[in-house]
Structure 1
Amino acid sequence: MVGDFDSLSDLTEEAKVRYIAQRWEELGLKDVQVTNHTALLSYPGPALSTIVDKSGNQCYLPSGARCDQPFASSTEPFAFAAYSAVGNLVAEVVDVQYGSPEDLRRVQASVNVTNKIALLKLGQSPLLYKLSLLSEVGFGGSLLYVDPCDAPFGNKTFGVTLNPGGNPFSQESTGSSGRASHHNLTPLLVQPISASLAKMLLSAPAMGQGRPCVPMAMPLASARKIINLTIENQASFKTVHNVIGYLKGKTNPDRYVLVGSRHGSWYEGALADWGNGSAVMTQIIASMTAQTRAGWQPDRTIVFCSWGGTSLGNIGSFEWGKENAVVLQSRAVAYVSLHSPVRAPGSLQATVSPSLQQLAAETQKRHSMSCSRGGGCPGPNVSSLQTPGDLSFFSNQLAIPTVEFTYSEFPKTEITAEAILRLATDPVLPFYPLDIALDVQNKLKDDPLRRLDLLNVAASLRDNSAFFQSEVMRPANDPKERDPAHVRMLNDVLRDLEKSFLIPNPPPGFYRNILYCLSRQTPRFSILKDALDVPWHNSVNQSLSLVSSAISSADKLIQSGLDLFENENDIPQ
């Protein structure tokens, strides 16, 4: 099945979209639509970016190969930062490590960074956040690399997008040629490079070697190199296509479970990595349409989506989502992602909204090999981290609960399919408000900015959420003991709970939905950490007020649900 899609990687997007739409219709999906969205797309070229070491006047490509040698790497043409500023900059290279606020304070204590070029490790923090900090303190450019201590592919070239999502520019900014004269989303010249080139520019003695691994860094005694960085990206307006297909629900056809994959990736040809998600999507569609031919129908409508323009900033999903935002805010109950179901080696993982953590953990446990063989069950690997991919619009802009399972080998379709079926058929949505409340308390537990009033409102949310899920309120949660209208109102409370945690104008790269963390190591509210680390962004009091308002809003929604379902016969006096 994956091979079917891998063979399409050399085709145009239009040809891939036609194939996917036809395949879905053949499998029995009704009302399959292709949507078209015009967007400004960024590309490398017309010439490759170059880095010239001024000390020896030696020119390098991003892979580390000499400019005067024919490059052998098939990834070389893809090693660029989409929507970077273009031009050239002659400046010193400064080692900023991961570009955290602490790293930048350390660097600024000894170096004037104005118009310098930062040598930046990717790491875990959002790239757009780190680049915004570099720009704010005065850097003129940045070379990005992956430290081999952080990932095994550190010496490969790679590409990144600086687009936070959707079409970044309107066609009004172009001339008659259809090309944009200004297509950068940052004032910085940004270029990804290999770890081997970073090692040379750092004068580092080793490249992620040793046990334990020694991170790359510029030795204190080394003189900083001066380079000439030249970037020649280009951009033009093109059409991005999505494929949307519907499996209509029976009881609640106006409630949607979205399932999304993509039909493009940063690399095309043999290096393309989108086939796994599309293959899993097709298997799930085939299985479910076979059941519909036998008379089965989901309770809620399942909307299957294949997105275009993902690698350049989730363009297809953002544009479709924005066009349908009003409908989705009232009708979408969940988003199941198949963005990258196969990733680096490791165990089965789930990245989910806090309200879906229990669903993900239960599903993992049921499908654990050691559990099925009677052995000791490993704990579920579930987290609520910011995740790249098309789910970001739905989790970040609309606060639709999301779930994505990832595997170290070809995925077990039944795990994702089971989650979809539960979301589409459980009479009461499998969302657990208490998990959100406990997650909020966990985020505040060790935060140095926590205040008594914040802890009190979080405790109130926990108490009300626990009562909402309790045996005392069981008739309100048992669809057999409630009429359909009341169950629908209950589901609307569950669906809307995460919307309370949307904030306006977060720092670049941060989710508007503050329930998502930046890393497992720091499960704090990201905007509180930013307020403490970067005081010129938001004041501490302003950020605390945003968090307090979000928790209070969620608490009031749960209280409204309790009021809605309160029954004197159910609740002891």
Structure 2
Amino acid sequence: QKVLYSFSIYSSKTDLKAEVIDVSYGNADDLKRIKKMKNVTNRIALLKLGRLPLLYKLSLLEKAGFGGVLLYIDPCDLPKTTNLSYDTFMVSLNPGGDPSTPGYPSIDGSFRQNRSNLTSLLVQPVSASLIAKLISSPKATTTNNACTPLELPNNEERIVNMQIQTVTKFKTVTNVVGYLKGLTSPDRYILVGSRHHTAYSYNGQEWASSTAIITAFIRALMLRVKRGWRPDRTIVFCSWGGTAFGNIGSYEWGEDFKKVLQRNVVAYVSLHSPIRGNSSLYSVASPSLQQLVAEKNNFNCSRRGQCPETNVSSVQMQDDADYFINHLGIPTVRFSYEDSQLSEGPSFLFEALFPKHTTKIEELDPFFNLHETITKLSGEVILQIANEPVLPFNALDIALEVQNSLKGDQPNTPQLLAPASRLRESTELFQSDEMRPANDPKERAPIRVRMLNDILQDMEKSFLVQHAPPGFYRNILYHLDGKTSQFSILLEAWEHCKSLASNETLQEALSEVLNSINAAQVYFKAGLDVFESILVGKN
């Protein structure tokens, strides 16, 4: 079976012959500068992948009037040890789920819209070596240890003829879901998500690592189950299909069971791409779970005698966890090994799916020690969330994350500082020993524990904004990358505001953040009022 490795899923389909204009990374400043120099209508943008979500950059190009996009990865953005100059790749323009059933489950009998393309742009990924030929330049060169990025000179003109023709077919995407029912709280779920192979030859063996880890964990659990053990809460094991095409399996399953999941899911543990490199362990976690993840990291490194600085952050990731983070506000955790040099480069390079990896999993982890570490870390987090009488979530860390996200020199954020301070005060009291059940299990009132857990599991739902730029998380507790700490929608709105005379977009974003902070503060205040009434009743 022959596969065209270089294509963009859900690109527009037509022919376009036009001048190529280098837009670099395609941010608002790049486009503002270029539009002053050239007419961009129906031109072809030469766009570098990275730094911002691809869907967002394409939306800017589409709004500016471009007709097509040649997308590539600049070799200077990759580690020196990685040579992908001649490799082609695939990208998906699907924000998530089955595009023919937006916002509702893709089940038999559902109305299917005709949406073979999700953009008016012709989008074609190409290799860096082809771009070097296009601009009549040698590949990115290194001078005095400094890499020279690929760039088309402004005074030179290149005409390219783009022809994109694709055929859209409906095919079945299959998920595999099983569960281990809890004893005391069977209606509270911990989702454990992996994925299986659905895109021929794409992403090499990453899916195999995901499958191997969830299989090993299930096998270990079953040994305990045979001896009569059961978790307190139900653990649901999910292997998603259609991931490469826009997390189709996880989105559709989530939409199908949305009402149940909103009420019952307490956490999502992702095993999406656990082995991407072998140099550094990276942990992505919701603010409420960062303390738990840091504890597990420190405990694990002490067992191995190696304790590097714990790297835990709340950043966007391309993952089947997307639906659960952005539509349900579920606290999420993911452990993975990555190449530290690649992580230091521009963000969002992971949006490119290569047909094969130059380094096989066996070479990255020949003795499967990294797989074992990820299995243990993920398993310990899963079991603690499944068995702790009180969910190990930290409300105060959410408030601290909100305050940290308001630091910096962004304008108009002072109006958010007061509500953020009130939120911190409420979470400090909520997190205090006075408001939590006693540590002695005999002193715990079951109804009070249940009420407390209900509040803890829904903490992040207040931070789901209604409107976010394309490619940005709706859950504003997550940042664009590890290099930025401000709210991503405020950063984007400020950049947008600088290029326009109006600041309406910025005011809308500020309002979204303000409403989220206020909603969270009211939520915790209501929880405090309930517990205070119980305490008064007991006294």
TM more than 0.5: yes
Letter in 1 for 2:287: P
Which residue number corresponds to residue 541 of structure 1?
A: 507
Deviations 1:383-416 (A, max 9, x none): 1111112100000111111111001444221111
Shift of the alpha carbon at 1:538?
Answer: 5.7
Does structure 1 residue 462 correspond to structure 2 residue 424? yes
Residue from 122, 131, 136 that aligns with 2:63:
136
Which residue number corresponds to residue 532 of structure 1?
A: 494
- Change in Cα spacing, 1:182 to 1:500, as seen in structure 2 (3 Å) is closer
Does structure 1 residue 514 correspond to structure 2 residue 476? yes
Does the 8 Å contact 1:147/1:154 carry over to 2? no
Shift of the alpha carbon at 1:301?
Answer: 0.3
Shift of the alpha carbon at 1:473?
Answer: 3.3
Does the 8 Å contact 1:78/1:266 carry over to 2? no
Which residue number corresponds to residue 307 of structure 1?
A: 240
Which residue number corresponds to residue 77 of structure 2?
A: 150
TM-score, structure 1 normalization: 0.81
Deviations 1:500-559 (A, max 9, x none): 001113111111111111122222111111221224796222211110110011111111
Does structure 1 residue 321 correspond to structure 2 residue 254? yes
Residue from 382, 386, 397 that aligns with 1:435:
397
- Change in Cα spacing, 1:504 to 1:569, as seen in structure 2 (3 Å) is closer
Which residue number corresponds to residue 528 of structure 2?
A: 562
Does the 8 Å contact 2:437/2:445 carry over to 1? no
- Change in Cα spacing, 1:119 to 1:298, as seen in structure 2 (3 Å) is same
Does the 8 Å contact 1:199/1:216 carry over to 2? no
The aligned length equals 489
Does the 8 Å contact 1:125/1:519 carry over to 2? no
- Change in Cα spacing, 1:539 to 1:222, as seen in structure 2 (3 Å) is closer
Mapped to 1, the partners of 2:515 and 2:202 lie a distance apart of 49
Which residue number corresponds to residue 349 of structure 2?
A: none
Mapped to 1, the partners of 2:257 and 2:216 lie a distance apart of 27
Letter in 2 for 1:327: V
Residue from 449, 452, 456 that aligns with 1:487:
449
DSSP 3-state at the match of 1:103: helix
DSSP 3-state at the match of 1:304: strand
Shift of the alpha carbon at 1:484?
Answer: 1.3
Does structure 1 residue 399 correspond to structure 2 residue 329? yes
Letter in 1 for 2:4: P
- Change in Cα spacing, 1:467 to 1:450, as seen in structure 2 (3 Å) is farther
Mapped to 2, the partners of 1:212 and 1:489 lie a distance apart of 59
Mapped to 2, the partners of 1:561 and 1:221 lie a distance apart of 60
Deviations 1:416-453 (A, max 9, x none): 11111111111111111111111111110115134433
TM-score, structure 2 normalization: 0.86
Question: Unaligned stretches of 5+ in structure 2?
Answer: 103-110, 339-364
Shift of the alpha carbon at 1:271?
Answer: 3.4
DSSP 3-state at the match of 2:206: coil
Letter in 2 for 1:321: G
DSSP 3-state at the match of 1:566: helix
- Change in Cα spacing, 1:269 to 1:81, as seen in structure 2 (3 Å) is closer
Does structure 1 residue 87 correspond to structure 2 residue 14? yes
- Change in Cα spacing, 1:479 to 1:509, as seen in structure 2 (3 Å) is farther
- Change in Cα spacing, 1:223 to 1:361, as seen in structure 2 (3 Å) is same
Which residue number corresponds to residue 274 of structure 1?
A: 207
Does the 8 Å contact 1:121/1:144 carry over to 2? yes
Q: Structure 1 stretch 247-256 or stretch 76-85: which is displaced more?
A: 76-85
Which residue number corresponds to residue 312 of structure 2?
A: 382
- Change in Cα spacing, 1:538 to 1:237, as seen in structure 2 (3 Å) is farther
Does structure 1 residue 252 correspond to structure 2 residue 179? no
Letter in 2 for 1:380: T
Mapped to 1, the partners of 2:140 and 2:229 lie a distance apart of 57
Which residue number corresponds to residue 106 of structure 1?
A: 33
Mapped to 1, the partners of 2:45 and 2:459 lie a distance apart of 41
Same amino acid, percent of matched pairs: 50
Does structure 1 residue 339 correspond to structure 2 residue 305? no
- Change in Cα spacing, 1:125 to 1:555, as seen in structure 2 (3 Å) is same
Letter in 2 for 1:423: I
Mapped to 2, the partners of 1:183 and 1:243 lie a distance apart of 27
DSSP 3-state at the match of 2:188: strand
Shift of the alpha carbon at 1:305?
Answer: 0.5
- Change in Cα spacing, 1:191 to 1:344, as seen in structure 2 (3 Å) is farther
Does the 8 Å contact 1:336/1:402 carry over to 2? yes
- Change in Cα spacing, 1:138 to 1:298, as seen in structure 2 (3 Å) is same
Does the 8 Å contact 1:308/1:316 carry over to 2? yes
Residue from 159, 164, 169 that aligns with 1:231:
164
- Change in Cα spacing, 1:332 to 1:211, as seen in structure 2 (3 Å) is farther
Does the 8 Å contact 2:436/2:452 carry over to 1? no
Shift of the alpha carbon at 1:185?
Answer: 0.3
Mapped to 2, the partners of 1:339 and 1:259 lie a distance apart of 10
Shift of the alpha carbon at 1:216?
Answer: 1.9
Does the 8 Å contact 1:144/1:193 carry over to 2? yes
Letter in 1 for 2:330: I
Shift of the alpha carbon at 1:85?
Answer: 0.5
Q: Structure 1 stretch 307-316 or stretch 212-221: which is displaced more?
A: 212-221
Letter in 1 for 2:264: R
DSSP 3-state at the match of 1:271: coil
Which residue number corresponds to residue 414 of structure 2?
A: 452
DSSP 3-state at the match of 1:84: coil
Question: Unaligned stretches of 5+ in structure 1?
Answer: 1-9, 11-73, 172-177
Letter in 2 for 1:192: P
Which residue number corresponds to residue 289 of structure 2?
A: 356
Shift of the alpha carbon at 1:222?
Answer: 5.1
Does the 8 Å contact 2:100/2:115 carry over to 1? no
Letter in 1 for 2:508: Q
Mapped to 1, the partners of 2:429 and 2:203 lie a distance apart of 54
Mapped to 2, the partners of 1:163 and 1:214 lie a distance apart of 33
Deviations 1:234-287 (A, max 9, x none): 111111111110100000000000001111254438934311101101001101
Mapped to 2, the partners of 1:478 and 1:95 lie a distance apart of 65
Does structure 1 residue 120 correspond to structure 2 residue 47? yes
Does the 8 Å contact 2:129/2:139 carry over to 1? no
Q: Structure 1 stretch 552-561 or stretch 403-412: which is displaced more?
A: 403-412
Does structure 1 residue 416 correspond to structure 2 residue 378? yes
- Change in Cα spacing, 1:569 to 1:312, as seen in structure 2 (3 Å) is closer
Does the 8 Å contact 2:22/2:152 carry over to 1? no
RMSD: 2.5
